[in-house]
Amino acid sequence: MDFSKRYVAIGDSFSEGVGDPDVGRPNGVRGWADRVAEQLCASEADWGYANLAIRGRKLPQIVAEQVPRALELEPTLVTVSAGGNDILRPRVDVDLITQQLERALKDLKSTGADVVVFTGFDVSNSGLISATLGRVALFNERLREIADHHGIVLADYWRWREFQNWGYWDQDRLHMNTAGHTLMATRVLEVLRQEHSIEAPELQTPAARSRVEELKRNAEWGRTHLVPWIQRRLTGRSSGDGMSPKYPDYVRLDAGVPEAPGRP
């Protein structure tokens, strides 16, 4: 099946869809990019979709592994999320990674494709991760300059304040949950000026917790999510080790179901 309109998502867990489980899909997740693709495919029959994103990938890996494949796929639309895993490391050269990202974005843009890139999320209310706030702010400012200079569309995650609501986040506090991915899909479609039929998620008001209950909850989060994350960092492992892209070739998503492979 040949597609005249071709959407490729590249990046890390954010674009792969981690936090939005779906056992019927590759890698067991759906995510905002799948939801965007579903709307594009519903709007016009000639849309194809590939998703090369893999959880845990750092920016140099995304540039080395995913960008060349994206160029081979000759997309007409590309969304790029990269840099988040680099910023969480103990040491990072923000100028270096933004230079690497700029070269990749220029290569993608030179094909004639529309390119959308995400800023980093405002982590000021994100507990331990809030220590990276200065890095994220610098990364975002560099990214805004790059987008302005090269005519790249900016999906300004930093300024989408509604995501400060913890109701949009998974239990690991690092990834959006289903509601978050659903809302993100609407924001991306708005950036693309694309009409859609996605209904805004309704959040339930969380039950009030006592200080003791909150301490227990934080301790459980530390054991279940923080400690394994730290162990992976110390041992050089990644949550995406051994994983493959969800959709390495073009498919058409109708009502969330991939139909057939498209052009290589």
Residue 258: pLDDT band by 50, 70, 90 thresholds?
low
pLDDT tens readout for residues 142-199: 999 999 999 999 999 999 999 999 899 888 868 999 999 999 999 999 999 999 999 9
Give the whole-angstrom CA distance, residue 73 versus residue 58: 22
Residue 128: pLDDT band by 50, 70, 90 thresholds?
low
Contact (Cβ atoms closer than 8 angstroms) between residue 107 and residue 65: no
The dihedral built from the CA positions of residue 169, 40, 71 and 113, taken in this order, carries a sign that is negative
DSSP 197: -
Give the whole-angstrom CA distance, residue 137 versus residue 127: 16
pLDDT > 70 in the chain, percent: 80
Contact (Cβ atoms closer than 8 angstroms) between residue 109 and residue 115: yes
CA angle, corner 28, sides to 25 and 34, nearest 5? 55
Look up the pTM and report it: 0.86
Bridge-based pairing state of the strands 253-254 and 257-258: antiparallel
Residue 9: pLDDT band by 50, 70, 90 thresholds?
very high
Which has the higher per-residue pLDDT, 264 or 228? 228
pLDDT tens readout for residues 184-207: 999 999 999 999 999 988 886 666
Contact (Cβ atoms closer than 8 angstroms) between residue 35 and residue 250: no
